[in-house]
Amino acid sequence: MRIVMGSDLYYPCLLGGGEKRMYEIANRLAEKHEIHVLTRRLEGLPNYELHRGVHIHRVFVPSGRVKLESPTDGSAFMVTCAVKGIKLGDFDIYAPQQFFPIPPLWLIAKARKRPIIPTIHDVYRDTWLQKYGSKGCLMSIFEKIMLKLPYNKIITVSNSSKSKLIDCGVPSEKIEVIPNGVDLEEFDRVRAKKPEKPRIIYVGRLIGYKHVDDLILAFSKLDLDAELYIVGDGPERKKLEFLAKKYVTKNKVVFTGFVDEKRKIELIKSSHVLVLPSTTEGFGIVLIEAMAAKTPVIAADIPALQELVGDENGLLFEPRNIDELCDKLKYLLRNEDLSKRFAENGYELVKKKFCWDEITKRVEVLFEEISQINQKPQT
């Protein structure tokens, strides 16, 4: 098959779970199929690159930087994505992921009477309205329109996200739940030693709904000699650095910025606990990455994360409850036997359910089925 995928960000800028998912699936599909990816051209990156068998086409956006989606960048990306998509010719499957890649590839797919199968990780309407004012209102309207478009299938990553899509009017039979995964062999190859001082880690985008500020404030209340690593980048970084400098007086907070995959695994493996305080998640891929690294997890008690974290492999806390998060951190860091049990059980869960090879096979089978249906003559 000849498949075109689309993502706002892509290699080498794999900041979040969505980018990581597309990267891993595209690389594996490229072993048997011709895969093209349309993405934004960031400063210093070439227009075109062949990476691990995947044809990467980077198109113009005015800012050329990683930033919170703006109407200007989003509009420019949709136009240039459409132009490049037309120039690349016909494809058997059009497979963008939210948000801005979907409309242009939807238009091309419909014009060429080809299947369109987007991946929609979550519904963000309420988060945008609460956090981003007028810009959030525009994004909410955009998302609502996007969800009303007719698709051959929609892939989403959790039952929680499926429920939200159904609530937005998407027919249940159009939705296929295929979770995120990890490359367990890659995690097993990396060696890292945990320091004597307890290390807490967050990995992901530094964006409002992730609530890394709650983690910093909970960390500032710890009566332990510990360190906090914040791995990732985003529009909230300066605010978070100011917060850490203001409130964390005894212990150390380290902002690493974006790191490559090997370094990310080293940092997770060298940590005693990974925390995901986000209130909006379609899946929470960093949790299964921590489990693959045999690092215990603490996560906000929201539906998508409840699907990954239970009594046998981690702890949940009430979202935005800083005191409870602090208590859970102290409880886990002081209980070595519990930490070991969580680490082993989490690893076994990943091994059983969340490996990229098996997940890619499920995506490939879906693409082949839809492609074959599309090729049948209409009666």
Domains delineated in the chain: 2-181+355-375 (3.40.50.2000), 186-353 (3.40.50.2000)
Rounded distance between C-alpha atoms, residue 80 and residue 92, angstroms: 21
Contact residues for 314 (Cβ-Cβ < 8 A; gap 6+): 287, 296, 297, 298, 299, 308, 342, 346
Closest CA to 282 of 296, 298, 303, 261: 303
- CA atoms within 13 A of residue 22's CA, in its CB half-sphere: 32
Question: Which of 78, 29, 76 lies closest to 55, judged by CA?
Answer: 29
Question: Given the structure tokens 């490559």, which residue do they identify?
Answer: 260
Task: Give me 245's structure tokens.
Answer: 């400098």
Q: How far apart are CA 153 and CA 175, in angstroms?
A: 6
- Cα 97 to Cα 67, 109, 122, 235, 360, distances in angstroms: 18, 14, 11, 21, 15
Walk along the chain (379 residues) and give the pLDDT tens digit of each residue: 999 999 999 999 887 788 999 999 999 999 999 999 999 999 999 999 999 999 999 999 888 777 666 778 889 999 999 999 999 999 999 999 988 999 999 999 999 999 999 999 988 877 666 666 666 777 888 888 999 999 999 999 999 999 999 999 999 999 999 999 999 999 999 999 999 999 999 999 899 889 999 999 999 999 899 999 999 998 899 999 999 999 998 879 999 999 999 999 999 999 999 999 999 888 999 999 999 999 999 999 999 999 999 999 999 999 999 999 999 999 999 999 999 999 999 999 999 999 999 999 999 999 999 999 887 655 4
* Coil vs helix vs strand at 196: coil
CA angle 209, 214, 220 (to 5 degrees): 155
Q: Residue 270: CB partners within 8 Å, gap ≥ 6?
A: 192, 193, 194, 195, 199
Q: E strand or H helix at 74, and its extent?
A: helix 71-87
Q: What is the pTM of this model?
A: 0.84
C-alpha angle 231-95-142 in degrees, rounded to nearest 5? 75
